[in-house]
Amino acid sequence: MKGEDGLQAQLLEDYRSVDSSTVLAIASDFDLCDPAQMSSLRQILDTLKEAVPFGEATGFDASGASGSNIQSGGLEAGGENDDSISGSGKSMPCWKSETDDTSTGISMSISDLHILDSHTDVPSSRDESPDKSYTSTLDDLDDKSKEAALLGIFPILKEFDIVWALKKYKGDASQAIDELMTQSFLEENGSRHKGIDAFSEGEIAPQALKSKRQKKRKKRRAATEDTGSQEKEETAVSKWETAKQDIDFIASKTEMPEQQVSSLYHKHGGSAKATISAIIEAYRDIYSETDDPVVHVEAYNLKRDFPSANLSDLEILIHLTSPSLPNAHALARRLATSPPTGKSKIQLEFRHAPIDLHETTSPTSSTSAIVPLSPLADPSAAASSYTESRNEYFNRAAAYYRKGKSDPLMGGAAAYYATEGRSYNVLAKQASSAAADILVNQQSSGDQLDLHGVNVKDALRITRERVTGWWVSRQNRENKGIGGGYRIVTGVGHHSEGGRGKLGPAVGKMLIREGWKVEVGVGVLVVRGVVGKR
């Protein structure tokens, strides 16, 4: 088997008519030991080899040195043809297209492809046209050979660019080369347009008009259309930018996948308010039955800032963005101020009578003691104690909020009790989560997760953690030939309000939304793996 040096020597021997530096430069981009690449290399060299006899017949030097002699007014080799060319006073331009060493290392003189239309003093049709200053032997080749040769000359461009240029100029290789040289320069400098920007409106030829009056009318109409098209283009760009900003805003505040938010956004007519409302409706079944005093207080505070928003919607927003209240505030602002597009559903807002805080139950006469912020050994007892303290603080805060309507000094006391209530709420949630973890560990096994007795929020968190851990361990076991599904027991909901289970639908929706392959049974979910994987 020949080495690389031997193969290069063989190529130089087989293509002696082609300049050796050109052969070596093109061969440097191919693996000569690979038969497939060797075949592709020979196709390119065969095309160049076929073009060489035409160049020799016209007296051109393939090295490109003839370009300087033509520009200086004469050729080194004398003859009648040379005299006629120099005597005509015309100069033949020598074009050279080179790519740097970092791209492909191919260097080729376009003068190899030049021919003369005539060796007399009579100017040809190509000489008379400034747009067609030279012709090429590529015009005598078929379409496939032209494409192969131009791909070798412009390796930085794609095959589509070559085919498009030849089609644009109806197979005229000279004009196609001019176009491709421009595109190659723009591609190397990174300033070439991509996508629909690459199509220039200037290429669309205007239709011929029949009379001067129609021409004037057409000009006025064109001016009006140009103004209108610019306004439409600005409006379209503005709509795309607005849509992207809305999608990024909602995805960042709700921590939902951007692709999912984009689908909802376009489904609801490009309205941020309608999209947020749709997200709220999707989570209403999960959080509607949750009785959390903290959420009620925070929703009440948001309601004061945005009176037009529905209180139940604000509570769901707080659940979605927990523990970030600024995110809930930003979504509520968009929900209350963004104008809806299209028809929206009629929303019924129920206004309940305010709680009658009797003087005997006022904070000043309350005798319940507030538990200090101290850790307890039993998480369940700690959660109960912290929850009781939290409710006490929030009740006091609500009472002072109502008194603050008539006495502004009460606002400070209300803010203080609300802050303390939030501190206890954090501790209550931490203790409740710890108690849920202990309960689940006691009633679960390696391939089964039992969520009985756990609230929806902790169930979602625990399921996400356990399923991820199971999937990682399962991949390790599959290497040893062991594998199976992961069972999640949620119950059928006999002990829930209305006899309807909430854990199963909530956990199932979360798993499907995050890309897990789930089988739904009666009170049981079985995770088989990740969607798209076996």
Dihedral through CA 165, CA 168, CA 171, CA 177, nearest 10? -40
Task: Count Cα neighbours of 9 within 13 Å in the Cβ-side half-sphere.
Answer: 5
pLDDT tens digit string along 494-512?
666 656 677 888 888 889 8
Burial 233-256 (b: 16+ CB within 10 A, else e): eeeeeeeeeeeeebbebbbebbeb
DSSP letter string over 495-525? Answer: TSGGG--SHHHHHHHHHHHTTEEEEE-SSEE
Tell me what pLDDT residue 212 has.
58
Sign of dihedral through CA atoms 235, 239, 241, 246?
A: positive
pLDDT tens digit string along 406-423?
777 787 888 888 888 888
**Residue ranges with strand state E in 30-95:** none
Q: Which two tokens stand for residue 62?
A: 């393939």
Q: Which residue from 169, 89, 182 is spatially nearest to 135, judged by alpha carbons?
A: 169
Q: Which residue from 63, 65, 68 is spatially nearest to 22, judged by alpha carbons?
A: 63
Q: What is the second-level CATH architecture of the domain 444-530?
A: 2-Layer Sandwich (3.30)
Residue 492 has pLDDT above 80, yes or no: no
Dihedral through CA 23, CA 27, CA 29, CA 33, nearest 10? 180
Q: Which residue has the higher pLDDT, 83 or 237?
A: 237
Tell me what pLDDT residue 222 has.
64
- pLDDT tier, 229 (very low <50, low <70, confident <90, very high otherwise): low
Cα distance between residue 65 and residue 54, in whole Å: 17
pLDDT tens digit string along 169-223?
888 888 888 888 888 878 777 666 555 445 444 444 444 444 556 666 666 666 6
> Quick check: 173 and 154 in contact, CB under 8 A?
no
Q: Which residue from 463, 480, 483, 488 is spatially nearest to 533, judged by alpha carbons?
A: 483
Tell me what pLDDT residue 58 has.
53
Q: How far apart are the first and last CA of the chain?
A: 44
- pLDDT tier, 66 (very low <50, low <70, confident <90, very high otherwise): very low
Cα distance between residue 324 and residue 13, in whole Å: 75
pLDDT tens digit string along 314-354?
888 888 887 788 888 888 888 887 454 444 455 555 554 55
Percent above pLDDT 70 for the chain: 62
Residue 30 has pLDDT above 70, yes or no: yes
Residue 464 has pLDDT above 80, yes or no: yes
pLDDT tens digit string along 346-381?
555 555 455 444 444 444 434 344 454 455 458 888
